[in-house]
Amino acid sequence: MLIRGSCHCGNISYRLDWRPDATEIPARACSCSFCTRHGGVWTSCPDGELLIAVRDAARVSNYSFGTRTAEFHVCAVCGVVPVVTSRIEGNTYAVVNVNTMENVAPSMLQRAASNFDGEDEAARLRRRAKNWIGRVRYASAG
């Protein structure tokens, strides 16, 4: 299943090849202080493949906080955060914001809350390496 998504203005867009095909997509409302403020709801499939395309990289703000192990790719034009990446042992992992998906029916989303408070950094990175999208590429500009 090929999922397309983007920020509001289209500066950051992505294609997520969701494997294997699914009838339900987990949607995790994160309770961290950033996602609470932003309404961030994330999903990932470990066997999927994500292609991120940025039209104007100067207008993307990469925001980190806390353990600084994840980068929120914030569109500096429209303020939407379609993608979060985390660099772990040389590989890039990612989650995408379900609210930025263009061709997924809302009924497919299995919404749940998640809370990772109290998780130490090592456990956090292990969880991401296991659950986040394990193949992430950036489309070359132009």
Site residues for Zn ion per CB under 5 A? 7, 9, 11, 75, 77-78
Angle at 37 between CA 34 and CA 42, to 5 degrees: 65
Instruction: Tell me what percent of the chain is helix, strand and coil, each rounded to the nearest 5.
Output: 20, 45, 40
Least Å from the CB of residue 133 to Zn ion: 21
- Choice between 1 and 78, CB closer to Zn ion: 78
Least Å from the CB of residue 33 to Zn ion: 22
Q: In this structure, are residues 12 and 73 in contact, taking their beta carbons and an 8 Å threshold?
A: yes
- Choice between 77 and 108, CB closer to Zn ion: 77
DSSP element (H, E) containing 34: helix 33-38
Phi first, then psi: give them for residue 26, nearest 5 degrees: -65, 140
- Choice between 13 and 86, CB closer to Zn ion: 13
- Choice between 8 and 111, CB closer to Zn ion: 8
Q: In this structure, are residues 116 and 132 in contact, taking their beta carbons and an 8 Å threshold?
A: no
Least Å from the CB of residue 16 to Zn ion: 18
HSE of 85, CA atoms in CB hemisphere, 13 A: 18
Least Å from the CB of residue 98 to Zn ion: 17
Residue whose Cβ sits closest to Zn ion: 75
Least Å from the CB of residue 141 to Zn ion: 16
- Choice between 72 and 134, CB closer to Zn ion: 72
Token pair belonging to 10: 């289209």
